[in-house]
Structure formats: structure tokens, C-alpha cells
Amino acid sequence: MASGKSHLCTRDGFIVGGFRFGAHKKAIGELVFTTSMTGYPESLTDPSYKGQILVFTHPLVGNYGVPRKKLISGTNLPSNFESEHIQAEGVIVSEYTSGTKWDSESTFDSWLKRESIPGIYGIDTRALTIRLRDNGTSIGVISDNSKDAKDLDTYDYESINFVKMVSPKKPVYCKVSGRKQKGTIVVMDFGAKNGFINDLLSLGYDIIRAPWDSPAQEILDFGPSGIVYGNGPGNPNLLGEAISNIRELLDTGIPSMGICLGHQLAAIALGGKIKKMKFGHRAVNKGIVNRMDNKAYITTHNHGYALSKRNIPASAKVLFESIDDNVVEGLADRKHNLITTQFHPEARPGAWDTRFIFNMFYRMMQNGKRKA
């Protein structure tokens, strides 16, 4: 259980007291909120949360404990976590519980302790969320020492390359299990989720997860049937080297797909502009509309930067759009043989409405390279 009092302090002068759980240490990062009611093991292990403190609006977190790791067939990747470890810097909840279920390995509190991640509870997280919506995302610190608030003055989330902290240092090979592979998909891994890798494997292709800064020629040397620009954390405008490599790869006409951060980087590579959002989209219940047939879907999101319709690349068309704020949620670029989504079609956690995106990419690979 909790071991003492703690405080949340923000750069804009907001201070609120609560109680410590998880690891007894300081956490500093960008304060972001999610409206997800379940899926905290997947959310907290999502590499896109690197550098951030996650606020849960749902009043009770931890009800079903933390599951034992299960591996994706033929790999050493956990199938029920999005990476090997918790990636968020800290956790803020209204109340945590010590609930478990039949496949639980530990409680929420003991998991945070084991992963050395601090949490604070006894906070009115819905009031905090309203503050973040009204005033915009802020930098915050969780600590039981009031002197740690001074660190807020020097922490600059926007200028930190979090991608290099979560991307593999060398290529990682994931083989199709139990059947003959149809080819190879190369993922430029900016912090790709395990669930996303699992869905790519289900298409029948071997997967190579390449470091985020891999030169274009190294990607091409793998002989890819398709190239994926994966999700990841932080400011896309910092990744100039990756953007240049993506631009070169898009010019080859090899079928490609961009997801979340990869969507943003592909858009920049083709001449689009990505800007910081006021408070971002982070949930498993965000509505989008397909602008080709006007069908609506419920989708999973985790992003604080976005593409607007007035900043899309000249060669692309809007494929998906947010129902809430008209953010561009996906592009189709026939010239460059590219599709992108700002949301997460693998739905980890979340609704499965848009799993058909993987079938679209499969058909693109079956049709092969197109002259760009």
C-alpha cells in the first residue's frame, strides 16, 4: 500500500497533494491524460509514452492486476505488453486498487515498484484533466520533496529525442511461425508496439525491426516487400535524419505504411507540416471518419502532434479525419504507394474497428512496387 504523502507540481504553478504508491522516487515529464477505462498494462508499456506522466481519468485503476507475460508465437516479445518494460515516467490516478484475476502475476502497486515507476493517488484526476484541456499540456513533477519543483524550470520535453531511447540499437528479426513466409516487411522502429508487430506477422511476412536512424540503403538491402514507419514518442520535427531516409524510401515506390509517429514523419518527408496539439489524443474511444466512403470508426490514439488539412502534402489525399477536431487521421498517396494512420489499427488496447488497414497494406504488397 501507500507509503507516504506526495505532491504533483506543474510548470504553470499548479500544486496538489496526494499519496505515494509504486516506487519511492521522483518523476518528471509531460503531463498527458487518457480516457481509457481498461488496458493500463498495454498503455503504460507503450513506448510512445516515453518522457510522459500518464493521468488516468477513470477513477479506479488496477482492478484486474497485472498479467503474466505471454510470448508472441515464434518470438520473445510479450503478447500482452507493448514492450518489455513500463515506458511512462510516472502514473497519476484517483484511486488504485489491489485487484487481481485468474491470470494476474502481481498487483498494480507491486508492478510499479518492480519497474521503479512512481505513482501518486488521491488526486482529482478529472479536475486535473479539465485543467490540461483548458490550459494545454504542462510539464509536471511527482515528488515528496518540494525542492524538486525547481527541476521544472530546466526540463525541455520538446527538444529531447526520446525515439533513440526506445528504438533497437541493431536490427531485430521476427520470423513467421508455422508456415512459409511470403516475404519480408522492414519496420523503421521508432518505438513500435508489440501488438503491431504481431499483426504484421499475421500477414505471413517475416519482420525486421530496424533502428530509427537506419540509412535508406540499409533498409533496401533487406529486400523488403513492404516498409513500415512505426509509432514512437516525442517531437517528430527533431528527427531530420529519419525524415530524409523516409523521403528516399518513398521515392522507390515500395509499398509502405506509416502509423502514428510514422504517419507524421512520412507527411513531413513529402512536404507536410506537423504541429504540437494543445493536449493531444490519448484514448481507446476516439471517433474518426473515412473520407472515401464516410463510414465512422472507433479507434485507439496516443499522440500530441498532428497534421491539419491545410498542411497535407500535395501528392496525398485525406483518408481518415477526426470527428472531434478535424485532425488528419490518415493519408493515401498513390504516387508514393503509401497509406498512413494517425491512430493505432492494431487496437492495443482498444476497439478492433480498423484492423482492415492491415489487409489494405497486404494487398499493396501483393500488387508490388509502383513507380513513384
pLDDT, residue 173, reads 94
Q: Could you tell me which residue, 208 or 2, shows the higher pLDDT?
A: 208
Rounded distance between C-alpha atoms, residue 232 and residue 132, angstroms: 22
pLDDT, residue 45, reads 97
Q: Is the pLDDT of residue 114 over 70?
A: yes
CA angle 53, 57, 58 (to 5 degrees): 125
What backbone phi and psi angles, to 5 degrees, belong to 96?
-105, 155
pLDDT, residue 206, reads 96
pLDDT, residue 25, reads 95
58 assigned to active site: no
Which of 144, 140, 125 shows the shortest CA–CA distance to 2? 144
pLDDT, residue 372, reads 55
Q: Nine-digit cell at 107?
A: 498487483
Of all residues in the chain, the percent with pLDDT exceeding 90 is 88
Segment among 53-57, 96-100, 238-242, 315-319 with least mean pLDDT? 96-100
CATH architecture designation of domain 5-158? 3-Layer(bba) Sandwich (3.50)
Instruction: Say which of 30, 89, 260, 301 is annotated catalytic.
Output: 260
Mean pLDDT of the chain: 95
Q: Nine-digit cell at 171?
A: 536490427
Q: Nine-digit cell at 240?
A: 531530420
- What is this structure's pTM? 0.96
What are the residue ranges spanned by the domains of the chain? 5-158, 163-367
Which of 269, 249, 243, 262 shows the shortest CA–CA distance to 48? 262
Which of 175, 196, 178, 179 shows the shortest CA–CA distance to 187? 196
Domain 163-367 listed as CATH 3.40.50.880: yes
> 371: pLDDT confidence band, cut at 50, 70 and 90?
low
Rounded distance between C-alpha atoms, residue 140 and residue 279, angstroms: 14
Residue type, 187: V
**DSSP three-state, residue 170:** coil
260 assigned to active site: yes
Rounded distance between C-alpha atoms, residue 206 and residue 229, angstroms: 16
Cell 482498444 -> residue: 350
Q: Is the pLDDT of residue 1 over 60?
A: no
pLDDT, residue 351, reads 84
Segment among 113-117, 172-176, 182-186, 262-266 with least mean pLDDT? 172-176
What is the arithmetic mean of pLDDT over 317-324? 96
Cell 527533431 -> residue: 238
Rounded distance between C-alpha atoms, residue 23 and residue 117, angstroms: 5
pLDDT, residue 146, reads 81
pLDDT digits (tens, 9 = 90+) for 124-164: 999 999 999 999 999 999 999 888 999 999 999 999 999 99
Q: Is the pLDDT of residue 205 over 80?
A: yes
Q: Is the pLDDT of residue 40 over 60?
A: yes
What is the arithmetic mean of pLDDT over 49-73? 95
Residue type, 177: S
Q: Is 165 exposed, middle or buried (0-12, 13-18, 19+ CB in 10 A)?
A: middle
Rounded distance between C-alpha atoms, residue 135 and residue 130, angstroms: 8
pLDDT, residue 350, reads 82
Asked whether the beta carbons of 343 and 349 are under 8 A apart, the reply is: no
> 180: pLDDT confidence band, cut at 50, 70 and 90?
confident
> 336: pLDDT confidence band, cut at 50, 70 and 90?
very high
174 assigned to active site: no
